[in-house]
Chains A and B, each alone.
Chain A
Amino acid sequence: MSDEESSPQRVAIGISFGNSNSSIAYTTSEGRAEVIANEEGDRQIPSILSYVAGEEFQGTQAKTQLVRNPKNTVAYFRDFLGQEFKSIDPTPCHQSAHPREHESTVAFSIKDTESDDENIVTVSEITTRHLRRLKNSASDYLGKKVNAAVITVPTNFSDKQKESLSKAASEAGLEVLQFIHEPVAAVLAYDARPDAKLSDKIIVVADLGGTRSDVAVIASRGGMYSILATAHDYDLGGALLDQAVMDHFAKEFIKKHKTDPRQNDRSLAKLKLESEAVKKALSIGGSASFGVESLADGIDFTSTINRTRYELLANKHFASFTRLITHAVEKAELDVLDIDEIVLAGGTSHTPKIASSLRNAFPPTTSILAPSTSPTAINPSELVARGAAIQASLIQEYETEDIEQSTHPMVTVTPHLRASIGVLCISGSESQGLFRPLIDAETPAPVRRTAQFATPKEGGDVLVKICEGVREIKVTRAEKPQTNGRKEDDEDSEVDSDDEPEEVREKVWRVGKVLAEAAVKGVKKGGKVEVQVNVGPDLAVQVIAREVGGKGGVRGSIEKPAVVENGSA
């Protein structure tokens, strides 16, 4: 990259644009994704704009204006983009400028100039101003003019919403290279780490935000991601946790001073800001102090709260997060036993209790990537922006046309295997054999996988039997464990009643169709057989079986299935 180059060089960043917060990230020359702090030092930049005497404030500065200047402060607008007024939920904007219908879109009436007149500013214009500020912060930091971005969107963002966002971005001088889904960006952020090992696994990404929470079940197969199911909740988020803290302190204040700070808009705004700060402090420390000057009726208020108390107050919300996540797993027609990894993303994921509730709901084989459960976890607030930055660095050299062609449905709609393909070991009969999966179900074709299998000890001629396998959940009622000690924490005791024998659930393989048999002759004692299965885009299969270290081997092909049925994507 030389300075003399006259052609407009792309400088691309990753942007995570949220209702509550936005982040910007770039990829360093070593290929690591880094989140950029804006000039105020914030990496989580509140998606808020505020106007005071014609001057524009954004981020944290705008957020403090929610107390003094709520009518000219715009917040929680991302989800209004590209929507009709009648289809939006204006609840989160209750304490800031209210959205209103304007022609076919949503707009805000705010005093954004020095004059005392209110102007109607569309949500698209607000977005442009916000993105322009993010772009400028990134440009200042990088010392180069940023002109392109990969922006993350929720999985259920409509084409119309994407189009509006794309238009708002280009008004801000940003070329949107690609929109990528938030949960996929989070997975990419983990997989792009240098020490990450790619494997085939089922991942649940729980993006727990401020005003909404989104869960996606993703099949990760050799670094390719397919979304199996999604679940959304537009009421569940950090705001509910703030509310629990708010109500607690409000009650305490009423007890002492006989007025409810929630009755007065300004007191409420102060209470809300401080409650959010307390909640964040409780994600890090065991206790936090709350202090607001002149909360209501000119009375200062200070108090403290510890984490145990807070977890009790917000208990039912924590249960809702777990429910949303297990619901998404059910929607994907999977069992909790099928889940290899849970990636917690979004600001609310910092809460330790959410991770520990999931720990109880999922088997010990599921790894939970959150700061409180995994030392290698990436900051959940930064995941999505990092993923976007990685994708931006991968495609910024591409021609726009190339990107469009690559993301075209012709390319992205791919047949996924309905059943796993594997080798039957130990015995040739389907009832006694042990099925070892080689290619998991939901793997997109074409795919090639190789694995080694042990042979009978004495060696000799070996039969390799390639089968389809289906995972089933076997439930066995185990005898009551002898140590029937009472659990230490009483909260759990209602869950498992003492009279019922404990259920043991495990994954077992049921062998389906036999696809092919191959004979590998004269295998040495203790030798191993290597099997490679190559599934073509038309589902025709090539099999190669050979002894490890041996020559030649057996090759054969299986024809493609007669009819390709159209499944639901």
Chain B
Amino acid sequence: PVLPEGWSAEKDFKAAGTLSSATQRIVEPVGPHFLAHARRKRHKRTFSEDDRI
């Protein structure tokens, strides 16, 4: 949508709320994408750190 008149915020970004609480579920430990996820989680890497490796 078009930016309304008079809208302003610091660095053009305004946080308005937080995510709803999540449900804890079990991810099936299967497939290449899970293994990548497990690797990131065990080494506490983020996506971009993982991309660089």
Using a CB–CB cutoff of 8 Å, the interface residues on chain A facing chain B are: 178, 180-181, 184-185, 188, 191-192, 198, 218, 222-228, 387, 390-391, 394-395, 405-407, 409, 411-419, 421, 424-428, 433, 442, 444-446, 448, 456, 460-463, 465, 468, 512-521, 534-535, 537, 539, 541, 543, 554-569
**B38 and A411 form a contact (CB under 8 A):** yes
**B9 and A513 form a contact (CB under 8 A):** no
Would you list the 8 A-B pairs with minimal beta carbon distance, nearest first? A223-B33, A556-B13, A567-B23, A415-B22, A461-B3, A406-B38, A407-B29, A565-B21
Query: Could you say which residues of chain A place their CB within 8 Å of the CB of B15?
Result: 515-516, 556-559
**B1 and A448 form a contact (CB under 8 A):** no
A431 to nearest B CB, angstroms? 13
Task: Tell me whether B53 is interfacial, beta carbon within 8 Å.
Answer: no
Contact of A519 among B3, B18, B22 (CB under 8 A): B3
Using a CB–CB cutoff of 8 Å, the interface residues on chain B facing chain A are: 1-4, 7, 9, 11-35, 37-42, 46-47
**A188 and B30 form a contact (CB under 8 A):** yes
**A409 and B26 form a contact (CB under 8 A):** yes
Contact of A444 among B17, B18, B25 (CB under 8 A): B25
Looking across the interface, which residue of chain A has its beta carbon closest to that of B13? Answer: A556
Contact of A224 among B11, B24, B37 (CB under 8 A): B37
Query: Could you say which residues of chain B place their CB within 8 Å of the CB of A416?
Result: 22-25
**A445 and B12 form a contact (CB under 8 A):** no
Measured in the bound complex, the distance between the Cα atoms of B4 and A446 in whole Å is 33
**A225 and B31 form a contact (CB under 8 A):** yes
Looking across the interface, which residue of chain B has its beta carbon closest to that of A568? Answer: B23
Measured in the bound complex, the distance between the Cα atoms of B26 and A538 in whole Å is 16
**A569 and B24 form a contact (CB under 8 A):** yes
**B28 and A460 form a contact (CB under 8 A):** no
**Given known contacts A425-B1, A516-B13, is B22 in contact with A418 (CB within 8 Å)?**
yes
Query: Could you say which residues of chain B place their CB within 8 Å of the CB of A413?
Result: 24-27
Query: Could you say which residues of chain A place their CB within 8 Å of the CB of B1?
Result: 424-428, 433, 456, 462-463, 465
**A184 and B28 form a contact (CB under 8 A):** yes
Measured in the bound complex, the distance between the Cα atoms of B6 and A519 in whole Å is 12
10 new A-B contacts, CB < 8 A, other than A428-B1, A561-B21, are A191-B31, A226-B27, A406-B38, A411-B42, A415-B23, A461-B3, A514-B17, A519-B7, A519-B12, A561-B20
Query: Could you say which residues of chain A place their CB within 8 Å of the CB of B40?
Result: 446
**B11 and A414 form a contact (CB under 8 A):** no
**Given known contacts A185-B30, A519-B9, is B19 in contact with A417 (CB within 8 Å)?**
yes
Query: Could you say which residues of chain B place their CB within 8 Å of the CB of A409?
Result: 26
Number of A-B contacts (CB under 8 A): 208
**Given known contacts A223-B33, A518-B13, is B23 in contact with A463 (CB within 8 Å)?**
no
Measured in the bound complex, the distance between the Cα atoms of B41 and A415 in whole Å is 13
Query: Could you say which residues of chain B place their CB within 8 Å of the CB of A415?
Result: 22-25
Contact of B13 among A225, A537, A554 (CB under 8 A): A554
**Given known contacts A515-B15, A521-B3, is B35 in contact with A442 (CB within 8 Å)?**
no
Query: Could you say which residues of chain B place their CB within 8 Å of the CB of A566?
Result: 24
Query: Could you say which residues of chain B place their CB within 8 Å of the CB of A218?
Result: 28
**B27 and A539 form a contact (CB under 8 A):** no
Measured in the bound complex, the distance between the Cα atoms of B40 and A221 in whole Å is 17
**A468 and B34 form a contact (CB under 8 A):** no
**Given known contacts A463-B2, A521-B12, is B26 in contact with A227 (CB within 8 Å)?**
yes
Query: Could you say which residues of chain A place their CB within 8 Å of the CB of B37?
Result: 224, 411, 444
**A567 and B12 form a contact (CB under 8 A):** no
Measured in the bound complex, the distance between the Cα atoms of B47 and A406 in whole Å is 18
Contact of A515 among B3, B17, B26, B30 (CB under 8 A): B17
Query: Could you say which residues of chain A place their CB within 8 Å of the CB of B38?
Result: 405-407, 411
Looking across the interface, which residue of chain A has its beta carbon closest to that of B20? Answer: A418
Contact of A564 among B13, B22, B33, B35 (CB under 8 A): B22
Query: Could you say which residues of chain B place their CB within 8 Å of the CB of A225?
Result: 27-28, 30-31, 34
Query: Could you say which residues of chain B place their CB within 8 Å of the CB of A517?
Result: 7, 9, 13-14, 16
**A391 and B31 form a contact (CB under 8 A):** yes
B4 to nearest A CB, angstroms? 7
Query: Could you say which residues of chain A place their CB within 8 Å of the CB of B20?
Result: 417-419, 468, 512-513, 561
A154 to nearest B CB, angstroms? 13
Query: Could you say which residues of chain A place their CB within 8 Å of the CB of B46?
Result: 446
Contact of B47 among A180, A227, A446, A554 (CB under 8 A): A446
Question: Can you list 24 contacts pairing A with B, beta carbon distance less than 8 Å?
Answer: A191-B31, A222-B33, A224-B27, A224-B31, A387-B30, A391-B30, A394-B32, A407-B29, A411-B38, A413-B27, A415-B22, A416-B24, A444-B25, A456-B2, A513-B16, A515-B15, A518-B14, A519-B12, A521-B3, A539-B18, A556-B14, A561-B19, A565-B21, A567-B23
Measured in the bound complex, the distance between the Cα atoms of B39 and A395 in whole Å is 13
Query: Could you say which residues of chain B place their CB within 8 Å of the CB of A559?
Result: 15, 18
**A564 and B2 form a contact (CB under 8 A):** no
Measured in the bound complex, the distance between the Cα atoms of B24 and A223 in whole Å is 18
Measured in the bound complex, the distance between the Cα atoms of B13 and A462 in whole Å is 12
B10 to nearest A CB, angstroms? 9
